[in-house]
Amino acid sequence: KLVRMLRESLASFSNVKIIHADILKIAPQQLLGDFWATPELAQGYKVVANLPYYITSPILRHFLEAWAKPSLMVVMVKKYAVVIVGGGPAGIFASLELSNAGIGVLLLDKGREIDARSCPIQKGNDHCILCSPCHLVSGFGGAGAFSDGKLTLSIEVGGRLKELIGPDQAKMLVDYIDTFYLKFGAQQKVYGIGEKVAELEHQATLAGLRLIPVKLRHLGTERCRQVLKAMQRQLSSKIDIKLRIAFLAAFKAFFASSLSALVTLLGSTKV
């Protein structure tokens, strides 16, 4: 969509050409066109870019090792390759995966730290006073920070994961996620397996019913909070986490810098 918008907005500039391609898969001479045939002119081209930090070096080498090198390169390096809005389960596990791969992440949530979250009803209020944001659902860990923490380790119940990616892949993914909980302090004991379950399954079959055995790992309310806090401690050493007031400031700053970089790039291109 951005490419189409740029082509439309810059269509009146005869000295501007929009190329939609992977910069590492296209040779500089293809970008320069006819100018490549004249070394004097080719040496005069400039490169202006806003790049993710993890790909900056390959792109710089791509141009600097070319036959006709640029006379000037202006590169703004993005600190974050990914911005995740929401510190619930999806945001936390996405952050863990990306940070383990060495990718720069900014995690934003409008709520507070786990220990700073409390519901007035839990303190004796007889009705909701409409906290903004709600301490039960906002903040690192989301509503899960106050749950009983029961992990259903089965692909047979709870969603359509098996249909979407197939039973083998779904089972692998469930087991993989479970290793994270164990790593961060979940108890080893698993419920829902053993001889009693097998006997119940047999009795259900005799009655014309199907019993679906489900492995269950029980964290408990307090243990669940400790597991989430352990996850946050590790993430804090690898990524930036902005909660509550810092959320809005970081959100605005990120998009303001991105817009500024785009305007700079377009301005340089027009010239």
Domains of the chain: 2-78 (no CATH), 81-147+224-256 (3.50.50), 150-218 (no CATH)
Residue 8, C-beta contacts closer than 8 angstroms, at least 6 positions apart:
none
Confidence band of 39 (pLDDT split at 50, 70, 90): low
Q: Once rounded to an integer, what is the mean pLDDT over residues 14-30?
A: 83
Model confidence pLDDT, tens digit, residues 69-125: 788 888 887 778 888 999 999 999 999 999 998 888 999 998 888 888 877 777 777
Residue 219: name the closest of 151, 119, 120, 169 by CA.
Answer: 151
Residue 127 confidence (pLDDT): 80
Range in 53-67, 124-138, 174-188 the model is least confident about: 124-138
Q: Please state, in angstroms and rounded to a whole number, the distance separating the CA atoms of residues 235 and 91.
A: 11
Q: Please state, in angstroms and rounded to a whole number, the distance separating the CA atoms of residues 178 and 187.
A: 11
Residue 174 confidence (pLDDT): 92
Q: Once rounded to an integer, what is the mean pLDDT over residues 212-217?
A: 87
Q: Please state, in angstroms and rounded to a whole number, the distance separating the CA atoms of residues 200 and 205.
A: 9
Q: Which of 85-94, 215-224, 249-258 has the highest mean pLDDT?
A: 85-94
> CA-CA distances (angstroms) from residue 151 to 22, 37, 192?
42, 64, 11
Residue 236 confidence (pLDDT): 92
Beta pairing class for 105-109 and 240-243: parallel
Residue 210: name the closest of 156, 271, 144 by CA.
Answer: 156
Q: Once rounded to an integer, what is the mean pLDDT over residues 18-24?
A: 85
Phi, psi of 246 (to 5 degrees): -65, -20
Q: Please state, in angstroms and rounded to a whole number, the distance separating the CA atoms of residues 163 and 99.
A: 29
The SS3 call for residue 12 is coil
Q: Which of 125-139, 143-157, 247-261 has the highest mean pLDDT?
A: 143-157
Is-contact 189 151, C-beta < 8 A? no
Residue 265, C-beta contacts closer than 8 angstroms, at least 6 positions apart:
48, 49, 50
Residue 181: name the closest of 87, 82, 91, 92 by CA.
Answer: 92
Residue 97: name the closest of 235, 197, 225 by CA.
Answer: 235
Confidence band of 182 (pLDDT split at 50, 70, 90): very high
Confidence band of 251 (pLDDT split at 50, 70, 90): low
Q: Please state, in angstroms and rounded to a whole number, the distance separating the CA atoms of residues 241 and 231.
A: 12
Range in 161-165, 210-214, 259-263 the model is least confident about: 259-263
Residue 37 pLDDT more than 70? no
